[in-house]
Every structure is written in structure tokens, then in C-alpha cells.
Amino acid sequence: MRTSSIADRVRQIRGSGIREFFDIAQRMEGAISLGVGEPDFVTPWSIREACIFSLEKGYTSYTSNWGLPELREAISDKIYKESGVYYEPEGEILITTGVSEAFDLALRAIVNPDDEVIIHEPTYVSYKPCTLFAGGTSVSIDTEVGDEFKLRAEKIEEKITEKTKAVVLNYPNNPTGATMRKKDLEEIADVVNEHDLIVISDEVYGKLTYEGEPTCFSSLNGMKERTILLNGFSKAYAMTGWRLGYATGNKEIIEAMMKIHQYIMLCAPITAQMAAVEALRCDDEVERMVSEYNRRRRLMVEGLTEIGLSCFEPKGAFYTFPSIANTGLTSEEFAKRLLFEEKVVVIPGSVFGDAGEGFIRCSYAVSQYEIEEALDRMSRFLEKHCVV
């Protein structure tokens, strides 16, 4: 008998002790959760209604591997309108089962064994494991609160080797809520050009930008050819459970991603695609949700600061990432004690990489009442634990 029937690659992914804590958090009665990573809005009714209508009409079949033509056209129009970049609906756009699938396809399409993929930390939890599954090696770059968790071009340059294949960008960022200015992205674009790299830009939180307009990375000089742009419907349209995303990029790469997609997924569910066509007509609903998030964001940031957690002002997504350094606790200890003593769920920053240690992620995709109640409980907790 072999020692384990599980492949080495999968065994490399650590099953961390934090999972147990999350299980307790999921089940705890009376807990207020700031650990949520999805909108608290239900999908707008007009989108749900369009989906129901499509079922009544009998749209229950497969679609083209690429996704519904009308959805690809609507996406092409939307990107062009918002950022001035034109993607051809035929061949430059692929509809996927969530951004998650698109991210996996992107890596598998471009990564050769031992190619290096640069990932900024704190980072969304999937990027590093997916890199590993694709046979690549992830190279981390720490971003810092003092620099508002921005990724700097010079830091990328320091990490480039001849094996470097791609840079992953995720702004607005999960978990920090950080955003990037156009000027800083342009500097990254220069490095990408110079070293012949690919950028995988996950812009799923793009619509949730509270100051100024988000910059689409592929709109920068020369970047359309070098960018795999990922986006989806989960966050902006409150459609997490529908599992629908898309990738856009140059024909060669999208074609390669499509090769994998057709064998592992065949196509994204038609029901979700039908709903997404309607979603793209719902800008008013999105605006309504974004302005509500913005109000909650201010409540949360002010509140956290007031109870004694220093918190840089996030300008995107729906997360705050306050420092808990003055408690002297690790982020995991902090989260556990806060749950058991005051029944508030927050996510320890360490889950998002070493650079996240000393921070917690608090989502404000919860009601105003829950924000205030959670802040009260946290304030009580901090009075007991603030040692510094």
C-alpha cells in the first residue's frame, strides 16, 4: 500500500487549522458575521425574472462553448463603453463558470512547468493554489498598509527571473479593499512590456469603486495584447450563486483557454447566461447598490477607527482591513477570541498570506444595523484586550 493515494501536488496544499474555526463560525447561533464575501442584496428582481422567463420558454440546453453570442456581444459593448477597449465577441471573449474557472483556465493556458507567477499579498486565497495546480510556482510580493496595499512596479522588477511568466493583479482588492491609480498601473505596464510578461487582471470588484473611475488594465498602452482580463457578475450584480464570469484577451490566449474549457466545463449554465444578458441592462440597480455600499463603507471605517483599530481607507470592493497590532494578538487568536467572547465573525488576515498577519478582514456587505452591533461588540472586546 502506498503511503497516500493523493497526488503530491494536491498534498502540497496545507489543510490549515483555520478551517475548523470557520466551521464553528458557520454554525454559531446569534453571531454577527463580517466574514461574508458576497453582497447581502438578493439578485435584482428584473434579472431573476428574466431567468424565470427563459426557463418558461424552455431555454435549458447547452450553449456554444464560448457562451451565448448575445451575452458576448453585450459584454463587448459594455467593456468598450466603460474603458474604450474593444474585444471581438467572436474569439476574444469566453464565458466561464465564475471568475474562478476563468482564473484557472488563464493559468493553465499559459503556464509551463516551473514558470513563475507573481502574486501580490495579501491575496485572494485561490491564486496561489491554482498556480500550483497549473504546475507553476507562485512568487509573492508583499504590499504594505503604509502604501495602501498598492503593488509597485519596482517591486515586480525585483522579483523577475527568466522563468517569470505572468503577474496577477487584483484591484479593487480582496481582502484589503485597496485600489490602484492609473499612473501606478502604467508603471506596471511598462515593466510588463519590457519583460514580455502576461498580466492576469481580476477586476471582479471593478464596479465597486468609490472614488474616481476604475482603470481597466487592458486599456493601458499596449496592454490589450498582454492582458487576460477577468470579470464576472457575482459582486456588482449580486449574483454569486449563479457562478458566471468571463475572460477577455487576445485571440491566441482565449482560444487556448477555450480548449481547456470545452473539455472540463463544456459551457457555462444557460440559465445564468440568460440572466446575465438582463443584468447588463441593470446599471441603475448596480448604482443603487454601490451607493449603499459606499455609505456602509464610511460607517465601518469611521467606526473601526473610533473603537481603536487603525484602518486605512479602502476605496473599492466591500472590505475593510484594519490593523490589530495594538492588541498584541495574532490575527487568528484575535478572530477566535472575538468569536467566542463576543460572537462576531471576522477573517484573520493571515489567511490571505503572511503579509496579512496583524490585520483582520471585516466585510461591510452587511446591514447598517449589523455594522453598528458588530462595532459595539468589538469595542467591548478591545477594552478587554488592548494591551499596547
Partner 1 sequence: MKEERGEEEILKVLEENARISDREIARMLGIEVNEVKEIISKLERAGVIRKYKAVVNHEKAGIETVQALIDVKVSPERNTGYDSVAERISRFPEVKSVRLVSGEYDLSVLVSGKTMHEVAYFVAEKIAPLEQVRNTVTHFLLKTYKENGEIYEEEEKGERLAVTL
- Residues lying near partner 1 in the complex (CB under 8 A) are found at 22, 25-26, 28, 31, 33, 35-38, 40, 42, 124-125, 175, 209-210, 241, 287, 290-291, 294-296, 298-299, 302-303, 345, 347, 351-352, 368
Q: How many angstroms separate the CA atoms of 350 and 327, rounded? A: 16
Tell me the closest approach of the beta carbon of residue 298 to partner 1, in angstroms.
5
Closer CB to partner 1, 261 or 315, in the complex: 315
Tell me the closest approach of the beta carbon of residue 132 to partner 1, in angstroms.
17
- Phi-psi label, residue 25: left if phi above 0, alpha if psi -120 to 50, beta otherwise: alpha
Tell me the closest approach of the beta carbon of residue 323 to partner 1, in angstroms.
20
Quickly list DSSP for 222-279: T-TTTEEEEEESTTTTT-GGG--EEEE--HHHHHHHHHHHHHHTSS--HHHHHHHHHH
The secondary structure of residue 37, as a DSSP letter, is -
Tell me the closest approach of the beta carbon of residue 27 to partner 1, in angstroms.
8
Closer CB to partner 1, 225 or 287, in the complex: 287
**In 3D, which of 209, 371, 377 has the Cα closest to residue 300?**
371
Q: How many angstroms separate the CA atoms of 207 and 79, rounded? A: 12
Q: How many angstroms separate the CA atoms of 55 and 360, rounded? A: 42
Closer CB to partner 1, 237 or 352, in the complex: 352
Tell me the closest approach of the beta carbon of residue 179 to partner 1, in angstroms.
12
Closer CB to partner 1, 48 or 259, in the complex: 48
Tell me the closest approach of the beta carbon of residue 284 to partner 1, in angstroms.
11
Task: Please give the radius of gyration of the chain, using alpha carbons only, rounded to the nearest integer.
Answer: 21
Q: Which residues contact 37 (CB under 8 A, 6 or more apart)?
A: 174, 363, 365
DSSP helix/strand/coil, 146: helix
